[in-house]
Amino acid sequence: MKICKWKKRIGLDLSECNNTHNHNHHHHQKLLKRNTRREEKRRKRKGSGSSMILLQSHSRFLLQTLLNRLQNIEKGVELDHHWVEFDDVRYHIQVSMKNPNIFLLSVSLPTPSSETIFVCGLPFGAIEAIKAAYGSLVQILDPPRDGFNLTLKINLSKVPANQEQRQALLVKVASVREVVLGAPLRVILKHLASRNVAPDMDPLVALVHRPKESFFVFPQADKVTVMYPMRFNDSIDIVLATSFLQEFVEARRTAGLNNTPPCSWSHTPPPELKGVSTDALSANAGFVSFVIFPRHVEGPKLDRTVWSLSTFHAYVSYHVKCSEGFMHTRMRRRVESLIQALGRAKPDPESSKKTSHSRSFQRMSLKESRTNSFS
């Protein structure tokens, strides 16, 4: 079963929460468990499960730009675009009118931490991965453009004429992030599929996935353990992520997920990280570990496994932000319903005015009022 089918969807329901500012750990964990049970019952009634949203491996903007360029290559329009995607991966594309078939693509990777080893500004194995993925279509420029780790010279005249082959190749070009950042993990998992460890491989490998942040890989012949120190800047995100990860691990016990990689979460670092610097282990949302076996990287599963592991932190961050947005939406709807209820309870000024006009008052003297009061 492919690893990218992560567990199950976890919803957050704060409609029964009387104090919306009480974001303590126990409260959120109780809500998550309650709604997980509701989701499980809902899935049993429907007879089918729901999966969480997964990040695409290719850049949609880059893919669309490549497709538009090939369709309008005769016009010879100049291109010069910069953009940034998640985890601080920056792109720059440039096409001149003099060479309309030459497409220059520059990529800037997240700043590596002190534990991560880059070779010529790239993760180890990246050059070989690029050549294997793109062949003669792409030429690596050395040195790259200023401020970038990699610059590729793409010859659009070598793109296949066949529509399916062209689409597949362009999607692969748009997945340059996966090819480059996932290269070290791909090397390790390929050797796992052969049930051995890559020669000259360190006992513990640190791989970059966020600016100045790493996750760790402990390779063995029969399994590979992947460990993530989970860090978040916002205090609410820390609480939500901690509850999310605990439920994420619990979901592994469901019947339909027996073949997925074993997953564990703890407040303290796993024993495999003994000796790693304190700064690298400064996690405020605990540590998550996956154990990958050869069956998880067989054939086409390898690409999905590499991408899912490389972007796991971004995957968690995405769903934490979605959960936070869901809670804000529920709270806004609750406030709106309370305002409507208060509006209905407010007396109508027109009806109150009619009531007051229908009454008649008679001015009484002081003597008459005293007489009526004693009568």
Flag whether pLDDT at 238 surpasses 90. Answer: yes
For 176-191, the three-class secondary structure string (H helix, E strand, C coil) is: HHHHHHCHHHHHHHHH
Q: Which residue has the higher pLDDT, 225 or 32?
A: 225
**pLDDT score recorded for residue 189:** 94
pLDDT tens per residue across span 278-320: 888 989 999 999 999 999 999 889 999 999 999 999 999 999 9
Q: Which pLDDT value is given to residue 11?
A: 36
DSSP character for 347? P
The candidate with the shortest Cα–Cα distance to 89, out of 71, 112, 116, is: 112
Neighbours of 317 (CB within 10 A): 18
- Given pLDDT bands bounded at 50, 70 and 90, which one contains residue 348? low
From start to end of 41-148, where are the E strands? 79-85, 89-95, 102-108, 118-119, 122-123, 138-140
More reliable by pLDDT, 34 or 77: 77
pLDDT at 25: 46
Which residues, at least 6 apart from 119, have a Cβ–Cβ distance to it below 8 Å? Answer: 126, 127
Residue 47 above 50 pLDDT?
Answer: no
High-pLDDT (> 70) share of the chain, %:
78
Residue 68: pLDDT over 60: yes
Residue 33 is predicted with a pLDDT of: 52
Angle formed by the axes of helices 312-345 and 235-250, nearest 10°: 110
The average pLDDT across 39-52 equals: 45
pLDDT above 90 covers a percentage of the chain that reads 50
Residue 45: pLDDT above 80?
no
Residue 369 — very low, low, confident or very high, per pLDDT cuts 50/70/90? Answer: low
Task: Please give the pLDDT value at position 52.
Answer: 57
Tell me the pLDDT band of 230, cut-offs 50, 70 and 90.
Answer: very high
Looking at the predicted structure, is the pLDDT value of residue 8 above 90? no
